[in-house]
Amino acid sequence: MNEFKITLSRLLKARFPYIYIPSWEEERFQSIISDISGNQNIIKTPRDVFTWSLTTGFTSADKPAPGPDTKSPAKALEFIEKYTEPAVFILRDFHIYFGGHGRSADNLLIRRLRDLAINLKQNPSPQNVIFISPSVVLPEELQKDITILDFDLPDFKELTELLNEMIEANMKTGRIVIDLKQEEKELLAKAALGLTLKEAENAFARAMVDDGKLDINDVETILEEKRQIIKKSEILEFVKTDLNMNDVGGLENLKKWLAKRNKSWLDRAGKYCLPAPKGMLIVGVPGCGKSLTAKAMSAMWQLPLLRLDIGKIFSGIVGSSEENVRKALKTAEAVAPSILWIDEIEKGFSGVSSSGDSGTSSRVFGTFLTWMQEKTKPVFVIATANNIDLLPAEFMRKGRFDEIFFVDLPTSSERKAIFTVHLKKRLRFKEAVGDFRVTGEILERLIELTEGFSGAEIEQAVISSLFEAYAENRSITMRDFEKAIKFTVPLSVTQGEQIIRIREWANVRAVSATPRDELCVDEERGVDAGSGIDETLSTRGGRKIDV
């Protein structure tokens, strides 16, 4: 018996008059309450179960009920008052009479509920009233009488049972091909975490009928159902990307760290007593692959990537910003396992030390930090930052992130990998390529010319070169690359002092995203004097360890 059943049965036995269940899953809850109320091993006195809604009045699967005669809420309460047998009364969407969301509260009904609470406690037969609604709306007058009990979404076990039932049922028909190993079944069930039982059933059914086959590739179909949840949130954005780790040039230390933690939310990791990873902070030079890594990581781990827009959290209504961040974090947990991406986090929380917004930023920041420290759901937080001067010191405390990585300007070997990615991506058609061939000698020349360039600047150099050729309606040449590179002023020149400061900070606080051997080779080579890059930039930042 799960924790929810145990807690609910204890509240029923203790004769709590009113229990409030915030949930969309009326049918699933109805099944659980039926199991409890009729089982003497769980609850000593079996109870009749009556369900009320505005459209049907009271109904019961086992007992005669007044039905349509109790459609009005007043008549429903009158029925409860007069019923003398042990019973549980489930009231659906009764919150509409409690006010909130622009509605006026029904004060007479609220007073009757307060009077009824006393009767329920003194009644010789044990009776309880359960409110079930998608949202919690409580009038102040009833707050001492009502107990709120969270009804979690289906857990991994429930989803696995549902998946197995559907597989077994469809295998008998012979119309669906099932091609799943045990671990792949786990991944499908884990991907459905955060969906209601009905949503998960729909997702599994859709995966089966799309191509008449159920296999590991159907994880994407399950994630599509999760996107529906995120689309209804105004603060979170579901980022769909076709990137993968092969599109990220270099950063091998960072890639290796992520690869080792892949699938760490599965049951197999529990046999090693491993917790789900909390997250990582990536700081460094703009345009060097921080955001690209976040997008590619989603494909590597096959998890939904949710982008949190800090700017949308803050609004003009007092208290709403705090509620917005709680709602966003709850949504991220609802679709867990997931990846929560906060891009340029220093901009969102740069005002936490000031009092210009009456402390709203500090409270939102505090809520976020507490959640990061105490969260138990597998939500991996990936935060990126460019300006470390604006980062609050609290972010650096151990326990917030599993690791802090520093992404520097790409080394020569990383520039080679970046050029290879973009040249392969862009030079695909005969009209653009012509007789041009990417040889080892050409790559070496490009690497030499782009000393001090970021990954984004290298990509733009390739694009600019193609525009040169396109404008003259001819195939690309090495001269186009040389011209594009010559007229690019890299960040290492325009923001040299800032890069030096970031490197000094990273030397003691962060791990280098680039392997030690690549850094050493570049430092031994020194800096090309003809590139115009300040010689002091040759000393790279970040602790030189191999992950």
Distance between CA atoms of 94 and 130, rounded to whole angstroms? 10
pLDDT reading at 531 higher than 50: no
Q: Within 13 A of 201's CA, how many CA atoms are on the CB side? A: 11
Q: Compute the mean pLDDT over every residue in the chain, rounded to the nearest whole number.
A: 85
Mean pLDDT, residues 363-376: 84
Give pLDDT, residue 415.
92
List, in order, residues 6 or more apart from 517 with CB less than 8 Å away.
none
Choose between 210 and 88: higher pLDDT.
Answer: 88
Strands 127-133 and 146-148 turn out to be: unpaired
Rounded Cα gap, residues 237 and 298, in angstroms: 14
Given a cut of 50, is residue 177 above it in pLDDT? Answer: yes
Q: In 10 A of CB 225, how many CB atoms?
A: 21
Percent of the chain at pLDDT > 70 equals 90
The pLDDT of 43-72, averaged and rounded, is 88
* Tens-place pLDDT, residues 5-15: 999 999 999 99
First vs last C-alpha separation in the chain: 42
DSSP-derived secondary structure for 363-384: HHHHHHHHHHHH--S-EEEEEE
**Can you read off the two tokens belonging to residue 30?**
């109805």
- The half-sphere exposure of 515 on its side-chain side, counting CA atoms within 13 A, is 12
321 or 201, higher pLDDT? 201
Token duo for residue 450: 């782009």
Predicted local confidence at residue 451, as pLDDT: 93
Residue 350: predicted pLDDT: 62
Identify residue 499 by its one-letter amino acid code: I
pLDDT at 7: 93
Confidence of residue 61 (pLDDT cuts 50, 70, 90): confident
pLDDT of residue 317 exceeding 50, the answer is no
Q: Taken in order 189, 195, 198, 200, is the CA torsion positive or negative?
A: negative
pLDDT computed for residue 330 by the predictor: 82
Identify the band that residue 375 occupies on the pLDDT scale cut at 50, 70 and 90: confident
pLDDT in tens, 244-278: 888 888 889 999 999 999 988 877 888 888 888 88
Token pair in block for residue 2: 């799960």
DSSP H or E run through 166: helix 156-173
Instruction: Pull the structure tokens for residue 173.
Output: 């028909």
Mean pLDDT of 204-225: 86
Helix/strand/coil (H/E/C) assignment for every residue in 37-67: HCCCCCCCCCCEEEEEECCCEEECCCCCCCE
Average pLDDT over residues 369-396: 83
- Per-residue pLDDT for 154 more than 90? no
Say whether pLDDT at 343 is over 90. no
Helices (H) and strands (E) in the chain, counts: 23, 15
Query: Do β-strands 338-342 and 236-239 pair in parallel, antiparallel, or remain unpaired?
Result: unpaired
Q: Give the distance from CA 412 to its chain's centroid.
A: 35
* pLDDT the model gives residue 532: 41
Q: Which region among 44-48, 236-240, 534-538 has the lowest average model confidence (pLDDT)?
A: 534-538
CA-nearest of 473, 452, 464 to 426 is: 464
Phi–psi pair at 442, nearest 5 degrees: -65, -40
- What number is the average pLDDT over the span 400-422? 90
